[in-house]
Structure 1
Amino acid sequence: MSHPAPEGIVEAVGASVASKGMMVGAATGVVGWLSQVNWIGISGVIIAVIGLIISTYFQIRRDRREHAESAERIKALRDQCKL
Structure 2
Amino acid sequence: MFIAILTFGFDSSLFANVDESLLRVFQWKNNRWENLGGTASLDDRTITVYADSLSHFAVAAVPVPGAVWLFGSGLFGLGLLRKRTAVA
Q: TM-score range by the shorter chain?
A: 0.3 to 0.5
> Which has more helix, going by share of residues?
1
Normalised to the residue count of structure 2, the TM-score between the two structures is 0.32
Structure with the bigger RCO (C-alpha within 8 Å, sep 6+) is: 2
Normalised to the residue count of structure 1, the TM-score between the two structures is 0.33
Is the radius of gyration larger for structure 1 or structure 2?
1
